């Protein structure tokens, strides 16, 4: 090989190496990766429990007979813009598909309710529902949620439901939801309601108490699904009139980590001289004035929090500013949906639509740069315990109460461990 050819090849190698080095070294490290494709709900299942204790909800103009049909119609019409049809089932000791549309199902409940002569065991029902819930499904389940052994077991030992509710029955619920979470990453939400009841009520000893509509009985709607889809679904149904009012609303496994992200609204409610530090999600060039405080608003998405922790009244009592040297106060707590678009700049509208709450903060003075923030300590809602009863043999004791409900809820809660200390832990840098 001639010297000229050798020199030429060497030059090509050098140029190629430099070009590669330049391309690799100066590729923009901030180029965003494509956003992961948002999960979509593919199917919505509705399971109606048909054990003997459920028939009293279907006789006459009860809250149950009004609410559930309206809720099913609203879900089909509004969730994901009405693109999804409900798949309806009866469930007790087995699952029986209903052949027909949701309107056919509603008509059947009104004209010819299911016989209600089968027993049911809560942990087995949840296991069956889990098996019928795909990773992209949402499953709804309505029941009075009474923990009980099968009829034969109760006849042999009339006290077994009472004595074993906190032990074996509670443990079976924990195990069922642990499997639900471990194998399919499923979470749950439960809503509680009250209804008049015309029919036979069965005590923990399976003794019959006839009720003629003068006693209010609780029932519960469970929503089960993947965390992302469940959060999306709950956000859509939360404004449905047919869901209101409820006596109980609890999430299990939906809340995983503290909410740490927020966006500054550069115009809404603004007072004082400052600008947005978009990289740090805070304020910069803050110039305090003796005449006018610094007021700014942040928007955040609290949809992963339990319903009670999203309530503005609860937030006003429990949300605090982070303990720092900066003196910051919470002026207002608003639902994002209640903020009129006419009060927002075009660049703020999308941020507000993506959030659930707006917090308006005020600083009366600023001596140095630093950080402020928002803190909401994690506190579990235990109001369900007031709805529980362990001796339901007297008709005067059962209005609004469910046998062993606290052990059922405690059992489900145990399946979802959570090490977080806060629901909200938002830091907001402030630079002079």
Q: Percentage of the chain surpassing pLDDT 70? A: 90
CB atoms under 10 Å from CB of 277, counted, come to 17
Using one digit for the tens of pLDDT, what is the confidence trace for 17-69?
444 444 444 445 555 555 566 778 999 999 999 988 899 999 888 999 999 99
d(CA 395, CA 201): 9
Tokens of 119: 């027993």
Q: Phi, psi (5° rounding) for residue 192?
A: -115, 145
CB atoms under 10 Å from CB of 183, counted, come to 10
Tokens of 184: 């399919």
Using one digit for the tens of pLDDT, what is the confidence trace for 394-411?
999 999 999 999 999 999
Tokens of 264: 């500054």
| Residue 270 reports pLDDT greater than 70 | yes
Q: What is the DSSP letter of 14?
A: H
| Residue 262 reports pLDDT greater than 50 | yes
CB atoms under 10 Å from CB of 87, counted, come to 17
Query: Which pLDDT value is given to residue 32?
Result: 54
Query: Which pLDDT value is given to residue 396?
Result: 94
CA angle 317, 377, 235 (to 5 degrees): 80
Q: Nearest CA to 218 among 387, 49, 392?
A: 387
Using one digit for the tens of pLDDT, what is the confidence trace for 274-323?
998 888 889 999 887 777 889 999 999 998 888 889 999 999 999 999 88
Query: Which pLDDT value is given to residue 69?
Result: 96
Contact 355, 304 (CB under 8 A): no
């Amino acid at each position: 090989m001639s010297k000229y050819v050798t020199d030429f090849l060497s030059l090509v190698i050098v140029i190629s190496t430099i070009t590669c080095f330049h391309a690799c070294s100066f590729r923009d490290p901030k180029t965003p990766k494509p956003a992961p494709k948002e999960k979509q709900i593919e199917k919505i299942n509705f399971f109606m429990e048909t054990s003997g204790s459920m028939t009293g909800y279907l006789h006459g103009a009860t809250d149950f007979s009004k609410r559930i049909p309206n809720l099913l119609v609203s879900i089909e019409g509004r969730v994901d813009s009405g693109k999804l049809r409900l798949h309806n089932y009866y469930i007790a000791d087995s699952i029986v598909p209903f052949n027909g549309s949701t309107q056919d199902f509603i008509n059947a409940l009104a004209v010819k309710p299911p016989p209600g002569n089968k027993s049911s065991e809560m942990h087995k029902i949840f296991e069956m529902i889990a098996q019928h819930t795909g990773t992209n499904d949402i499953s709804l389940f309505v029941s009075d949620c009474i923990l009980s052994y099968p009829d034969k077991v109760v006849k042999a030992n009339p006290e077994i439901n009472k004595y074993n509710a906190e032990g074996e029955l509670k443990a079976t619920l924990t195990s069922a939801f642990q499997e639900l979470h471990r194998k399919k990453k499923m979470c749950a939400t439960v809503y509680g309601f009250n209804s008049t009841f015309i029919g036979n009520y069965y005590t923990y000893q399976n003794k019959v108490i006839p009720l003629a509509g003068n006693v209010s009985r609780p029932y519960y709607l469970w929503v089960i699904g993947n965390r992302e889809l469940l959060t999306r679904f709950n956000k859509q149904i939360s404004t449905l009139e047919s869901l209101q009012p409820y006596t109980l609303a609890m999430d299990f496994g939906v809340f995983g980590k503290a909410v740490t992200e927020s966006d500054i609204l550069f115009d809404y409610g603004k007072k004082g001289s400052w600008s947005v530090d978009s990289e740090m999600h805070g304020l910069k060039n803050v110039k305090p004035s003796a005449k006018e405080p610094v007021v700014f608003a942040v928007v955040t998405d609290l949809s992963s929090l339990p319903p009670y922790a999203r309530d503005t009244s609860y937030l006003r009592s429990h949300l605090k500013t982070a303990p720092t040297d900066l003196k910051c106060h919470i002026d207002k707590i608003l639902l994002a949906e209640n903020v009129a678009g006419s009060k927002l700049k075009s660049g703020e509208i999308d941020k507000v639509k993506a959030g659930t709450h707006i917090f308006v903060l005020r600083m009366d003075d600023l001596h140095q740069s630093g950080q402020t923030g928002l803190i909401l300590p994690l506190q579990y809602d235990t109001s369900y315990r007031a709805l529980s009863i362990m001796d339901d043999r007297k008709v005067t004791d059962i209005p609004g109460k469910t046998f062993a409900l606290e052990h059922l809820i405690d059992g489900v809660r145990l399946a979802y461990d959570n090490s977080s200390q806060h629901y909200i832990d938002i830091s907001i840098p402030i630079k002079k």
